[in-house]
Chains A and B, each alone.
Chain A
Amino acid sequence: MPRITHLLALSIAACLPATLPAAVADDGFKLVIQDHRFQPPELIVPAGKKLKLVVENRDATPEEFESQALNREKVIAGKATATLFIGPLKPGRYPFVGEYNEATAKGVIVAQ
């Protein structure tokens, strides 16, 4: 009997690495807004699946995450974090801006 439980534990452990990338994706891909700029300005994501995007606004002023290419817009209050879902995306470049500070708040999501 103990052997069977061992085997079970082993097989579960064997499955874990396979589920890990999904768990990472579940936490979401993160963007930070600081001084009206996005960090990182270029975010690389996997193509072909739905993604969770977490945007943290460290500025005191509100910002609107907007992307025509991604068909998304979301207002983020000052000192707040927003979550939104994007994709599944075809491989390619998807520019986005912070609409309230378009001169500096620019970035691109690269799906590959």
Chain B
Amino acid sequence: MFATAVIVFREVLEAALLIGIIAAATRAVPGRNRWLAAGIAVGIAGAGLVALGTGRIAEMASGIGQELFNAAVLGLAVLMLAWHNLWMSASGAALSADARGVGSEISAGRRARSVLLIVVGLAVLREGSETVLFLYGIAASEGGASGSMLMGGVAGIVAGVAVGTALYAGLLRIPLRWFFAATGVLVLFVAAGMASQAARLLIQADVLPSLATPLWDTSQLLPQTSIVGTLLHSLVGYEAQPAGMQLVFYVIVLTAIGAGMKWVYKKSEPRHARS
């Protein structure tokens, strides 16, 4: 039961942390809770479909369908997070002045809600499909232990959601002045980490060269399976033995979104000064 709980916890954690960050970052968006719930529901439904179609997806593109599919999901999530951050940079100052959002931002807020839905949906879909497969495997296998193992699965989900909720609650304690800057930086690193994961999948599928395997090895110092390693992996994309190409993707996404945020912020400064 404990082993089951740990595996499910690991799968759920990444999505839970992302949802915690996104939920905090969109605190000013009207109707956020409903859209968040809808994103999770869409993600769970999608995860079920992906789990059902695992065999078929894997066979596509002569055996590398799974890697291409997951890399595409990650790529789309990176784009959505980038869009979210650019929008927050443009309206962050106004939002900080009034956390409930000002009238002029509401139309933009509508668009932010669909981004919120897609990002949360994608995160749940990707991590959820593996959880569904794992739990299905337990349910399908014979033996009386399956009851307690399913309990373990539930415990893993609860623990993952608890950590995501704790992060959310912690983020809300950040003073409003710094709040949107802090969540923006967090989202930026999450996006860069996702880009690095997408690169790893494309290397695994032999679509991209690895450049160096591994670029460094810190698996003795800070194993990725340790609690700190797992958290750092989910939050800033830490890897103990990354390929060189992963770092290239990481740095490109980090600088591109970072520069974009700065540019958008500068451009919208006169507007902030007026309001």
Contact = CB atoms under 8 A, between A and B. Distances in A.
Interface string A64-75: 100011011011
A71 B239 contact: yes
B88 to A, nearest CB: 32
A83 B63 contact: yes
Interface residues of A, number: 32
Contacts of B223: 68
A62 B66 contact: no
B213 A83 contact: no
Contacts of A100: 7, 133-134, 137
Contact of A76 (B58, B140, B203): B58
Given A68-B224, A82-B63, A75 B204 contact: no
Interface in A38-84: 50, 52, 60-64, 68-69, 71-72, 74-84
A89 B7 contact: no
A82 B201 CA distance: 14
A12 interface: no
Contacts of A50: 206, 210
Interface string B193-207: 000000010011110
Nearest to A87: B213
Contacts of A69: 219, 241
A64 B136 CA distance: 13
A101 B213 CA distance: 27
Contacts of B55: 77-80
B137 A71 contact: no
B254 interface: no
Contacts of A52: 206
A89 B164 CA distance: 36
Nearest to B55: A77
A84 B213 contact: no
A103 interface: yes
Given A74-B204, A84-B204, A99-B7, A68 B225 contact: yes
B49 interface: no
A68 B141 contact: no
Nearest to A76: B58
A87 B206 CA distance: 11
Nearest to A63: B137
11 contacts: A50-B210, A62-B134, A68-B240, A75-B54, A75-B133, A76-B58, A78-B55, A80-B58, A86-B204, A99-B7, A100-B133
Closest CB pairs A-B (n = 3): A77-B55, A61-B137, A83-B63
